Amino acid sequence: MHALEISGLKKTYRNGFVALKGIDLNVEEGDFFALLGPNGAGKSTTISIITSLVNKSAGSVKVFGNDMQQHPMRVKRDLGLVPQEFNFNMFEPVEEIVINQAGYYGVDKQTARERCEWALKKLGLWEKRRAVARGLSGGMKRRLMIARALVHKPRLLILDEPTAGVDIELRRSMWQFLREVNGEGTTIILTTHYLEEAEQLCRNVAIIDQGTIVENTSIKQLINQLDKETFILDLAVPLTVAPTLQCGYPLELIDETTLEMEVRREQTINVVFEELSRSGIEVMSMRNKANRLEELFLDLVERGGEK
C-alpha cells in the first residue's frame, strides 16, 4: 500500500510564481524516503500541501488511500509534521506543548502523558519538561518538534530539514531515533540539505527541482548512476608539478602535498598507485573529495537546469 500518492500536483501562488508544475510521487508504506532539492525547488510547498497548510492549484494527494479533498480528517489523523521553522508557543512549557498536540488529535490526557514521557525521554528532553520552550537550545527545540509530531502516533511522519543547525553528535543520535521510529512501522519522508543524512537514513529518494521531479529511485540505484569519483591523495613528500601518468588518469596538484584525481566507475585505481610508487611518490592517505550523493545531486540539478 502507498503511504503517499501524489498525482499531477500543481501550485501557483497568487503572485504568479509556479512552485509545482505537476508532480507525481508515490511513497510505499514503511519506507524511509528522501525528498531532496535545492532551495526554492518546491519541497516545502509539497509538504505544506500534504499537511493542508497550503491550498493546491491542481492534482490529488492521497495518504494511506484517503484522498485529502474527500477525507481531510482521516488524512490529517495519519500525518505528523516536523516543519523547518520552529512553530510552537515559545512561552509554553515543553510538556504542555507536547500534551496539547496530543489533545488536538483526541488523545486522552493519561495516554498523552505516557506518550509525552516516552518521546521526551527518547529525545533527551525529559529533564527539560517543565522548562519554557524559548529557553531551550536550537537542538532541543528541534527535538521538541519531533516529540510533538510523534505524540499522536502518526503513520506517516514528514520531517522538513529536522537536523538543520544541529551539531553532528546530536544529529547522529536523532538519526538513530528516527531509524527506530521507522523500524516500528512509521513511514518517514525526509527533506534535508545534508545529503549524507539522506544516504545514511533513506532507502528511496526523489529529487525535485524547479517544481518538477527530476529523479525518483532508490538511493542505491542513484549512487550507481554516478560514473566518476574524485579522490584526494595526501602525499608524504612535497611536489612542484603534478606527475603525468602513463595510464592516462588526470592528476592535478592542489598544493605541494595534495593531488586530486578523477576516476571513472569502470577504471581501477591500482595502476595509479603502482605508477606513483615507481616514480617514488608516497601516498599517505586517500579520501573522496565530496559526498558521492552530493556530486550526483549537483549533477542532476545542473542537468535539470539546462533542460
Partner 1 sequence: MDLHTYRIAFTTILVKEVRRFARIWIQTILPPMITTALYFVIFGKMIGSQLAPIEGFSYMDYIVPGLIMMTIISNSYANVVSSFYGAKFSNYVEELLISPIPHSLILIGYIAGGVARGLTVGVMVTLVAMFFTEIHFYNLWVSLSVVLLTSILFALAGFINAVFAKSFDDISIIPTFVLVPLTYLGGVFYSVSMLPGLWQTLSLGNPILYMVNTFRYGMLGVSDISLAVAYGVILLFIAVLYSYSLWLMKKGVGLRG
Residues that bind partner 1 (CB under 8 A): 13, 48, 51-55, 72-74, 76-77, 79, 81, 83, 85-91, 96, 100-101, 103-109, 148
- Residue 90's φ and ψ, nearest 5 degrees, are -65, -15
| Between 132 and 253, CB nearer to partner 1 | 132
Find the shortest distance in angstroms from Cβ 44 to partner 1.
10
Give the residue carrying C-alpha cell 504542555.
96
Find the shortest distance in angstroms from Cβ 51 to partner 1.
5
Find the shortest distance in angstroms from Cβ 112 to partner 1.
9
Burial class from Cβ neighbours inside 10 Å (0-12, 13-18, 19+) for residue 191 reads: buried
Find the shortest distance in angstroms from Cβ 275 to partner 1.
59
| Between 54 and 131, CB nearer to partner 1 | 54
Find the shortest distance in angstroms from Cβ 5 to partner 1.
19
- Residue 110 burial (CB count, 10 A): 8
Find the shortest distance in angstroms from Cβ 203 to partner 1.
25
| Between 90 and 254, CB nearer to partner 1 | 90
Grid coordinates belonging to 236:
608524504
Angle at 74 between CA 69 and CA 79, to 5 degrees: 100
Amino acid, single-letter form, for residue 223 = I
| Between 52 and 230, CB nearer to partner 1 | 52
| Between 96 and 294, CB nearer to partner 1 | 96
| Between 91 and 268, CB nearer to partner 1 | 91
3-state DSSP assignment of residue 163: coil
Find the shortest distance in angstroms from Cβ 13 to partner 1.
7
Find the shortest distance in angstroms from Cβ 90 to partner 1.
7
β partners of residue 66: 63
Grid coordinates belonging to 240:
612542484
> HEC profile for 128-140?
HCCCEHHHCCHHH
Grid coordinates belonging to 278:
615507481
**First-residue to last-residue Cα distance in the chain:** 34
| Between 25 and 68, CB nearer to partner 1 | 68
Burial class from Cβ neighbours inside 10 Å (0-12, 13-18, 19+) for residue 87 reads: exposed
As a whole number of angstroms, the distance between CA 100 and CA 115 comes to 12
What sign does the dihedral 179-180-181-187 (CA atoms) show? positive
Grid coordinates belonging to 219:
538511493
| Between 37 and 154, CB nearer to partner 1 | 154
Contact of 232 with 259, CB cutoff 8 Å: yes
As a whole number of angstroms, the distance between CA 96 and CA 77 comes to 20
